[in-house]
């Protein structure tokens, strides 16, 4: 399809089988997969790219492997980008101060790094450019989906902004992020403070002690529990630095996270020397993260929710990009199947889309359940210290933590009863 924006502006009404709201990694993954199936698609985003997205910027091994499955050439192209820092693992620092270094690969430093760190400004632009080059998706930037109205055959979506037009689509895939209007107002997913995290992030130069192999750092300070502070290295001595804390705890403690971040890096004994000569690059930015510590229905009559809009963020690691991409691919596959099975003018009901929930939770459910348990450990510093100490001596537990960042499919491991024995007593 022609993606020329001037041609699209001249049209007052666009028609497509699928409208994707949100051109982040989840929406772009869905668009690329729908293109494979030959499904007519419109991709809408209120921003004009490149645009920043407040995030930790870590691209886990799960992200890279999902991208490889979508298009191996894209993964090769991404690894060549300037500004990308290869990442070989993660370091957890317990409240006791003890660190657990968990590599993503048993062959650290050999070949391609399993993960990477790349600012979302660059990664999201990269993904959208891939969709545009593919040429099968109408892309509307600077266009806000103001209203979603159910019609006899699907949806009518009114747009505002640069594209003052409307879209008629049979299905809506909502990938519009943590603050999704669609997810709240139409799908009915609430923001529950116990299952939501508030976070802040800033870029710094001159931070010392950054890992030479790009290990990301998750530092569980006693002052911050059940949240943590992160330091993700970037090229040329830069770092993405931030912290996250469950929203119920933010409200209970009446804490200003932006002030807390500055206080910790300037005063905390574990951090102040590393930031003694560091300089902030721009302001501290805030974000909200709906966590997958509680399951919600992620499909309904004529729609599926993707990524953050579906509350799929890992409650322990904060991993969100891979879950957005994985769910985006599943949504595209189910959409294609439902469209093929339905008569042309018949609305697609929830019954035809429930398979999406099944596939997403089959793929991610057990991993997220383990992650939820690990998040709960952070409520108890002594227990979290115990687990870190145990993981240092238990390869099975360390491997499990590594898999949350790196392994695209833990299901076979999780099916084996002996795995749980080794996990607890190994």
- Residues written for the chain: 426
Residue 276 lies in a domain: yes
Return the bridge partners of 299, or none: 304
In a domain, 172, yes or no: yes
Report the distance separating Cα 397 and Cα 395, nearest Å. 6
Closest CA to 50 of 113, 121, 115, 110: 121
Same domain for 50 and 128, yes or no, is: yes
Residue 376 within any structural domain of the chain: no
Q: Tell me how far apart the alpha carbons of residues 305 and 199 are, in angstroms, rounded to a whole number.
A: 22
Q: Note if the pTM is more than 0.75.
A: yes
Q: How far is CA 319 from the centre of its chain?
A: 5
- Domain range for 208 is 85-113+192-290
Here the CATH number for the domain that contains residue 38 is 3.50.50.60
Q: Which of 73-82, 131-140, 324-333, 374-383 has the lowest mean pLDDT?
A: 374-383
The percentage of residues in the chain with a pLDDT greater than 90, rounded to a whole number, is 70
Name, of 214-228, 298-312, 344-358, the range with top average pLDDT.
298-312
pLDDT digits (tens, 9 = 90+) for 36-79: 999 999 999 999 999 999 999 999 888 999 999 999 999 999 99
Distance CA 379, CA 75 (A): 38
Last residue of a domain, one of 315, 346, 363: 363
One domain for residues 177 and 304? yes
The pLDDT, as a whole number, for residue 10 is 44
- Same-domain status, 186 and 282: no
Domain assignment present for residue 216? The answer is yes
Q: Do 286 and 217 belong to one domain?
A: yes
Res 126: pLDDT: 98
| Domain-terminating residue out of 238, 270, 290 | 290
User: Among the three residues 275, 290, 305, which one is the final residue of a domain in this structure?
Assistant: 290
Higher pLDDT: 295 or 402? It is 295
Contacts 24+ apart (CB under 8 A), 270-279: 270/93, 270/97, 270/219, 270/221, 271/219, 271/229, 273/208, 274/207, 274/208, 274/209, 275/204, 275/207, 276/208, 277/206, 277/208, 278/204, 278/205, 278/206, 278/207, 278/208, 279/204, 279/205, 279/206
Please report whether residue 409 resides in a domain: no
**Mean pLDDT rounded to a whole number for the chain:** 89
Tokens read off for 100: 């657990």
Q: Are residues 196 and 342 part of one domain?
A: no
Residues 302 and 220 in one domain: no
Please tell me the least confidently modeled range out of 48-52, 107-111, 166-170, 297-301. Answer: 107-111
| 410's tokens | 């833990």
Does 175 share its domain with 300?
yes
- Same domain membership, residue 271 and residue 153: no
Residue 423 in domain: no
The pLDDT of residue 164 is: 67
- Write out the chain in H/E/C secondary structure: CCCCHHHHHCCCEEEEEEEEECCCHHHHHHHHHHHHHCCCEEEEECCCCCCCCCCCCEECHHHHHHHHHHCHHHHHHHHCCCCCEEECEEEEECCCCCEEEEECCCCCCCCCCCEEECCHHHHHHHHHHHHHHHCCEEEEECEEEEEEEEECCEEEEEEEECCCCEEEEEEEEECCCCCCHHHHHCCCCCCCHHHEEEEEEEEEECCCCCCCCCCEEEECCCCCCCCEEEEEEEHHHEEEEEEEEEHHHHHHHCCCHHHHHHHHHHHCCCCCCCCCCCEEEEEEEEEEEEECCCCCCCEECCEEECHHHHCCECCCCCCCHHHHHHHHHHHHHHHHHHHHHCCCCCCCCHHHCHHHHHHHHHHHHHHHHHHHHHHHHCCCHHHHHHHHHHHHHCHHHHHHHHHHHHCCCCHHHHHCHHHHHHHHHC
Q: How many domains does the chain have?
A: 2
Of the pLDDT bands very low, low, confident and very high (cuts 50, 70, 90), residue 393 is: confident
Rounded Cα–Cα distance for residues 388 and 398 (Å): 9
Identity of the highest mean pLDDT range in 132-146, 162-176, 362-376, 410-424 = 132-146
User: What's the CA gap between 320 and 76, in Å, rounded?
Assistant: 22
64 inside domain: no
Q: What Cα–Cα distance (Å) separates residue 408 from each residue in 63, 241, 345, 384?
A: 8, 26, 38, 26
The set of residues, in sequence order, having a beta carbon less than 8 Å from that of 252 and lying 6+ positions away, is: none
104 within domain boundaries: yes
More confident of the two residues 224 and 105: 224
Rounded distance, CA 292 to CA 310, Å?
9
So what's the pLDDT on residue 3? 40
């Amino acid at each position: 399809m022609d993606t020329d924006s001037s041609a699209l502006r001249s049209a007052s009404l666009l028609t497509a089988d699928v409208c994707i709201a949100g051109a982040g990694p989840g929406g772009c993954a869905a668009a690329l997969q729908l293109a494979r199936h030959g499904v007519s698609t419109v991709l809408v985003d209120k921003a004009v790219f490149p645009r920043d997205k407040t995030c930790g910027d870590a691209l886990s091994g799960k992200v890279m492997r999902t991208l490889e499955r979508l298009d191996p050439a894209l993964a090769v192209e991404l690894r060549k980008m300037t500004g990308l820092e290869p990442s070989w693992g993660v370091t957890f620092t317990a409240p006791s101060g003890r660190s657990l270094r968990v590599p993503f690969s048993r062959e650290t430093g050999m070949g391609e790094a399993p993960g990477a760190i790349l600012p979302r400004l660059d990664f999201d632009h990269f993904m959208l450019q891939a969709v545009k080059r593919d040429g099968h998706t109408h892309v509307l930037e600077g266009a806000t989906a103001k209203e979603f109205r159910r019609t006899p055959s699907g949806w009518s979506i009114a747009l505002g902004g640069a594209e003052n037009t409307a879209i008629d689509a049979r299905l809506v895939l909502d990938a519009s992020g943590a603050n999704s209007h669609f997810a709240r107002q139409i799908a009915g997913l609430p923001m529950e403070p116990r299952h939501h995290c508030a976070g802040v992030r800033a870029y710094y130069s001159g931070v010392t002690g950054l890992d030479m192999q790009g290990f990301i750092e998750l530092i569980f300070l006693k002052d911050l529990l059940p949240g943590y502070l992160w330091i993700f290295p970037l090229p040329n001595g830069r770092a993405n630095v931030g912290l996250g804390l469950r929203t119920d705890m933010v409200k209970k403690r009446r804490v200003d996270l932006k002030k807390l971040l500055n206080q910790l890096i300037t005063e905390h004994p574990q951090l102040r020397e590393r930031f003694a000569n560091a300089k902030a690059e721009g302001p501290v930015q805030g974000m909200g993260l709906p966590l997958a510590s509680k399951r919600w229905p992620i499909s309904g009559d004529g729609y599926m929710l993707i990524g953050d809009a579906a509350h799929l963020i890992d409650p322990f690691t904060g991993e969100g990009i891979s879950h957005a991409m994985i769910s985006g691919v599943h949504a595209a596959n189910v959409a294609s199947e439902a469209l093929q099975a339905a008569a042309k003018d018949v609305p697609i009901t929830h019954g035809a889309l429930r398979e999406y929930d099944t596939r997403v939770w089959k793929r991610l459910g057990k991993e997220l359940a383990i992650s939820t348990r690990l998040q709960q450990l952070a409520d108890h510093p002594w227990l979290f210290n115990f687990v870190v100490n145990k993981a240092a001596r238990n390869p099975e537990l360390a491997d499990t933590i590594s898999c949350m960042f790196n392994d695209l499919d833990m299901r076979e491991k999780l099916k084996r009863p002996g795995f749980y024995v080794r996990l607890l007593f190994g």
